[in-house]
Chains A and B, each alone.
Chain A
Amino acid sequence: EAQVTQNPRYLITVTGKKLTVTCSQNMNHEYMSWYRQDPGLGLRQIYYSMNVEVTDKGDVPEGYKVSRKEKRNFPLILESPSPNQTSLYFCASSLSWGAGNTIYFGEGSWLTVV
């Protein structure tokens, strides 16, 4: 089954404790991205990757890091989480970038930083 898998789905952590949210897709997609969703703001892009070893900042990259060492994985790293990073996070992928490509989203990761 074609899917984007995120882990963990739910996490409560403390300020400053490094954490990683993993994302894996089994569709051989080149394009992957991370979004955060907050009430009244919709989804905002954090980082995206056009292909392996190619990553770029989205609209809200501060406080986050990513890596794309292999095509299927695109982990999101919070080096020193803060309460304003409490949010619902989505990983997404598509075959490539462009209007003809369907973007597939993971089920989301609820992160609470206390």
Chain B
Amino acid sequence: TQLLEQSPQFLSIQEGENLTVYCNSSSVFSSLQWYRQEPGEGPVLLVTVVTGGEVKKLKRLTFQFGDARKDSSLHITAAQPGDTGLYLCAGDYGNKLVFGAGTILRVKS
């Protein structure tokens, strides 16, 4: 059982559509991070959220940390083909970073 559950596992959408990826847990995390990974490369950090209820924006990406610091979401507005990739959430759990299984996003032009 994953400590962090991500949904959906796969998402295939048309360019211009909006989407939301969810990351849920029954555990409280001191911080949560979102990464994007492209084929043949390591994950690259997009954002870190620390405070419950925190919202951060990165261009067309909006990240939210749940009030209880147990869940997070990533919303992409007007998706573009360049957004295609594997999106991973990861939580700070003691001295370890615990990852969700990831969401594979494909944006078709």
- Is A40 touching B42 in the complex (CB atoms < 8 A)? no
- Is A99 touching B100 in the complex (CB atoms < 8 A)? no
Complex Cα gap A92–B42 (Å): 9
Given contacts A102-B45, A103-B45, contact A48 B99 (CB under 8 A): no
Interface check B30, CB cutoff 8 A: yes
- Is A48 touching B95 in the complex (CB atoms < 8 A)? yes
0 or 1 for each of A19-41: is its CB under 8 Å from B? (1 = yes): 00000000000000101000011
- Is A103 touching B92 in the complex (CB atoms < 8 A)? no
- Is B100 touching A105 in the complex (CB atoms < 8 A)? no
Given contacts A43-B43, A107-B40, contact A99 B31 (CB under 8 A): yes
- Is A108 touching B40 in the complex (CB atoms < 8 A)? yes
Residue in B closest to A38 when the chains form the complex, CB atoms: B101
A38-79 interface (Cβ within 8 A of B): 40-45, 48, 50, 56, 58-59
Given contacts A43-B88, A56-B95, contact A99 B42 (CB under 8 A): no
Most buried by B among A50, A59, A103: A103
Number of interface residues of B (CB under 8 A): 26
Given contacts A41-B101, A43-B88, A99-B50, contact A107 B96 (CB under 8 A): no
- Is B97 touching A42 in the complex (CB atoms < 8 A)? no
B4 to chain A, nearest CB (A): 8
B63-101 interface (Cβ within 8 A of A): 88, 90, 92, 95-101
What chain B residues lie within 8 Å of A90 (beta carbons)? 42-43
- Is B99 touching A42 in the complex (CB atoms < 8 A)? yes
What chain A residues lie within 8 Å of B97 (beta carbons)? 33, 45, 103
Known A-B contacts: A42-B100, A50-B95. Give 6 more (CB < 8 A): A4-B42, A41-B101, A42-B99, A45-B96, A99-B31, A107-B41
- Which residues of B are in contact with A by a Cβ distance under 8 Å? 2, 4, 6, 9, 30-31, 33, 40-45, 48, 50, 88, 90, 92, 95-102
* 23 A-B pairs in the complex with CB atoms less than 8 angstroms apart: A4-B42, A41-B2, A41-B101, A42-B99, A42-B102, A45-B96, A45-B97, A48-B95, A48-B96, A50-B95, A58-B96, A59-B98, A90-B42, A92-B42, A99-B30, A99-B31, A100-B48, A102-B45, A105-B43, A106-B42, A107-B40, A108-B40, A108-B41
